[in-house]
């Protein structure tokens, strides 16, 4: 390991302090490093070239931004949890410091998570958790037609429609009543939100399928990407969602079956 990037949660003094401490320890071991706030994705993308690992210090929101940077270069990400739940982030601060020598020596395994590609208005976005077509901050209902592989399935009328990855199945989709998929699954989940007089069941969609969401009716809606970017969507403009060619790569130190016990403990804490 020759170069390590550090992306930390902004406006959290402890996160920046840990980033600086990690940078000092890496430099003492002869490893070059760089650090950026999670808000500085463009700068982080430039710094990431030639790196071997990105360490994310914060919570799941911080690691989502780190993945947006790392997935372009197929770099692994290691998460240090300063957040409350941390479904994606594996290590506590104490565990991270205890395992740092082994991490430097190259110990651990790489876990690959599916991402989705979201395409609309001649733009393409690669998302780890979920995308949502919904009413945004307005009070009116969103009317969204859904098709799978060019076959129209239904029109949802409510707050919106979530399309999530397996990773995102423990995020907004879960809060809306969706199923939990194993994180290594490649299927997508379609989960409507607060439907009015319409089916509200989730659908699990095959990874080779394409999902098309189109706002209908008389009002514009919003596309939300990983809960971090919100963009307006004009009536009649379709959003096409499919499995991305990119994957999120995580450096893991625990056994793959740790997911189930960790999930149970975190849901019980809630």
Q: Which residues are catalytic?
A: 60
d(CA 269, CA 262): 11
Q: What are the residues facing 119 on neighbouring strands? A: 124, 240
Q: Which helix (H) or strand (E) holds 250?
A: strand 239-252
DSSP code, position 141: P
Q: How many H helices and E strands in the chain?
A: 6, 16
d(CA 39, CA 234): 27
Residue 155 · residue 181 · CB < 8 Å: no
In the chain, what is the greatest distance between 2 CA atoms, to the nearest angstrom?
62
Residue 190 has φ and ψ, to the nearest 5°, of -105, 120
122's CB contacts (< 8 A; 6+ apart) are none
Residue 172 · residue 187 · CB < 8 Å: no
Question: Could you please report the per-residue DSSP string of 159-194?
Answer: SEEEEE-TGGGGTHHHHTTPPPPPTT---EEEEEES
d(CA 262, CA 270): 13
């Amino acid at each position: 390991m020759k170069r390590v990037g550090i992306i930390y949660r902004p406006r959290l003094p402890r996160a920046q302090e840990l980033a600086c401490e990690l940078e000092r320890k890496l430099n003492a071991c002869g490893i070059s490093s760089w650090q950026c706030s999670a808000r500085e994705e463009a700068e982080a993308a430039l710094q990431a070239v030639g790196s071997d690992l990105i360490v994310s210090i914060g919570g799941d929101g911080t690691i989502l931004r780190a993945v947006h940077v790392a997935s372009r270069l197929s770099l692994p990400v290691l998460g240090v949890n300063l957040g409350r739940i941390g479904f994606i982030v594996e290590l506590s601060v104490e565990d991270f410091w205890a395992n740092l020598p082994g991490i430097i020596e190259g110990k651990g395994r790489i876990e690959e998570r599916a991402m989705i590609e979201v395409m609309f208005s001649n733009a393409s976005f690669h998302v780890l958790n979920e995308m949502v077509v919904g009413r945004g901050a307005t009070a009116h209902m969103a009317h969204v037609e859904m098709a799978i592989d060019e076959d129209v399935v239904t029109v949802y009328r409510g707050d919106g429609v979530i399309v999530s990855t397996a990773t995102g199945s423990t995020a907004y989709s879960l809060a809306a009543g969706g199923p939990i998929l194993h994180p290594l699954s490649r299927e997508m989940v379609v989960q409507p939100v607060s439907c009015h007089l319409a089916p509200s069941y989730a659908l699990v969609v095959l990874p080779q399928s394409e999902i098309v969401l189109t706002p209908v009716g008389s009002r514009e809606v919003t596309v939300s990407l990983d809960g971090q970017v919100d963009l307006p969507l004009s009536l009649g403009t379709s959003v096409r969602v499919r499995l991305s060619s990119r994957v999120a790569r995580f450096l893991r130190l625990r056994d793959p079956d740790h997911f189930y016990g960790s999930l149970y403990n975190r849901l019980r804490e809630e």
